[in-house]
Chains A and B, each alone.
Chain A
Amino acid sequence: MPDVDVVVVGAGPAGSAAALVLARAGMDVLLVERGPFPGAKNMYGGVVYGRILDTLIPRWWEQAPIQRWVTRRATMITTPTQALTVDYRSAAWGAPPYNGATAYRPDFDAWLAGVAVEAGATLVCSTVVTGLLRQGGRVVGVSTDRPDGDISARLVVACDGVNSFLAKEAGLYGHASPDHYTLGIKETLALPRHLIDERFGLRDLDGADFEILGCTGGVPGGGFLYTNLDTLGVGVVLSLPALAAQQARPEAILADMKSHPAIAPLVEGAELKEYSAHLIPSGGLDMVPELAGDGLLVAGDAAALCLAAGIWLEGVNFAIGSGAAAGRSAVDALRAGDTTAAGLASYRRRLEATFVLADHTKLRGAHRLVFSDRTQVRYPQLVCDIVEGMFRVDNPQPKPGLRRIARREIRRSGVRLRDLARDARDGWKAFG
């Protein structure tokens, strides 16, 4: 007899969602976390999109440890001296069921793991899963760094994060290319709550989330800035190979962004409370591995199920969505007595039927467009120059009109019309 029905590796949002679904179905679940508590190893770009929790934890917003509800969502297109901001506010996002929330991951992840424990899962922290136990190619458990730490199980769900040594060990990934990863670094900056409210125009638990393009010194990526109750999260996401090739220091790129004239007044005087860094799987669908093996499922960042496509930066929701789907398919497979890859095939179908793989399918290739030199440097310059032409008053010259400004600025930017047309078409295909 195996020790447990299921070992879930990693108590991040994917692992806890999987463990929650399994425990509720009466399965004997062991949730293993390498940190001293769930969330200790996790950081992110700031927003949890919680609607995926609606069915898992009804009225989750009454108990989740949230900092602020995002009611102001801005996208900033910058050059070193210019900024064009699309600034959207919605009062509806400040009331249930809400849209996005800011939270500290050590709080949020520990809360979600706690919900799984209440449902009957057993959480073991401070334990590293060091490998898979196999029997004739089939996964039959895990080894850990505890003395006599082998645990046999009918099924293993690997939610062991972006580096997923388990998915790699199982051969579910091809070669891991650095092109598919971005490095996220972040500063958590303390600022009195009333100053945050004043600077960002917020009240009560309203929060702001800014995503920033053109601020990463030519290294493909983007920036973010969001509000907690009495801290700000400010960071950059950077293409890994470009970072290495351009000999640029990540914290210096972030310092540059923070000194931008449109951003500096927002972060001025805030004191560094915590510096953090994490990798992000950013290759989209091209990077998603095989999702099931004999006795094994993979979910969350471990399966590269994270959306880093320009104006959308989402991960926690994809982790919860894939973890819960893995849990449901695991329950079905365990009840049917078939946990082979074929018996677990409903997992992929579940993901395809929901946003998890549907969004990735729609946005396949979007990361290439977003990370291109044109999108990163030339288009921000072009757009800002066109807007500057619109709003600059050059009296005694008469107003030139948008068409003339656009023609002039496109010519000046050196962007070829052919490329512009192709990018517009690709962009429309992905985002339209």
Chain B
Amino acid sequence: MTEPTVDFEDRMATVEFQVAPEAHITVDGDACRGCTTKACVVACPARLFVPTSDGGILFNYEQCFECGTCYLVCNTEGAITWRYPEGGHGVVFRRS
């Protein structure tokens, strides 16, 4: 597959985020350690989910598009809890 010409960090730097003080995603680490598919890692368009060496998942919420992909592809009910960031925060599209 062709590697995108823009580095992923630069790609995300084109998006405006008004980061909320509080995370709007929570992940149940125990459920993730038992997960074999880790679909959130490949499907999240912002690459927010990263597998850790002990089989868990590390995530950040700051650069979230608020699309909902992660909780929909997650195969363990309730492993990813996702809600909207506090009003006025999160992603701000300008030219999309």
- Interface pick from B26-34, B52-60, B62-70: B62-70
Q: How far is the CA of A255 from the CA of B7 in the complex (A)?
A: 12
A-side contacts of B72, CB under 8 Å: 176, 178, 181, 240, 279
CB 8 Å contact bits of B55-96 with A (1 = contact, 0 = none): 000000000011111001100000000011111101111111
- Interface pick from A31-39, A383-391, A398-406: A31-39
A-side contacts of B5, CB under 8 Å: 255
Contact A40 B93 (CB under 8 A): yes
Contact B88 A36 (CB under 8 A): yes
Residue of B4, B6, B39, B93 touching A39 (CB-CB under 8 A)? B93
The count of residues in chain B whose C-beta lies closer than 8 Å to any C-beta of chain A is 39
- What class of interface size applies to chain A in its complex with B? 35 or more
User: CB-nearest residue of chain A relative to B11?
Assistant: A275
Q: How far is the CA of A188 from the CA of B69 in the complex (A)?
A: 21
A-side contacts of B46, CB under 8 Å: 277
Contact A276 B93 (CB under 8 A): yes
Q: Would you call B45 an interface residue if the criterion is a C-beta within 8 Å of the partner chain's C-beta atoms? A: yes
Contact B66 A41 (CB under 8 A): yes
Contact B42 A274 (CB under 8 A): no
Give the Cβ gap from A57 to chain B, nearest Cβ, in Å.
Answer: 23
CB 8 Å contact bits of B1-19 with A (1 = contact, 0 = none): 1111110101110110010
Contact B73 A240 (CB under 8 A): yes
Q: Would you call A217 an interface residue if the criterion is a C-beta within 8 Å of the partner chain's C-beta atoms? A: yes
B-side contacts of A228, CB under 8 Å: 95
Contact A106 B96 (CB under 8 A): yes
Contact A41 B11 (CB under 8 A): no
- Interface pick from A245-253, A367-375, A418-426: A245-253
B-side contacts of A128, CB under 8 Å: 84-87
Contact A188 B96 (CB under 8 A): yes
Q: 8 Å CB contacts to B: which residues of A231-271?
A: 231, 233, 240-241, 243-245, 247-256, 258-259
Give the Cβ gap from B68 to chain A, nearest Cβ, in Å.
Answer: 4
Q: Would you call B23 an interface residue if the criterion is a C-beta within 8 Å of the partner chain's C-beta atoms? A: no
A-side contacts of B66, CB under 8 Å: 41
Q: Would you call B43 an interface residue if the criterion is a C-beta within 8 Å of the partner chain's C-beta atoms? A: yes
Which residues of A line the B interface, CB within 8 A? 34-36, 39-44, 104-106, 125-128, 130, 144-146, 162-163, 165, 176, 178, 181, 183, 185-186, 188, 217, 228, 231, 233, 240-241, 243-245, 247-256, 258-259, 272-279
Which residues of B line the A interface, CB within 8 A? 1-6, 8, 10-12, 14-15, 18, 37, 39, 42-43, 45-46, 65-69, 72-73, 83-88, 90-96
Seed contacts A40-B93, A106-B93, A273-B14; 13 additional CB < 8 Å A-B pairs: A44-B96, A104-B94, A104-B95, A105-B96, A163-B68, A183-B45, A247-B42, A248-B42, A255-B4, A274-B93, A274-B94, A276-B96, A277-B69
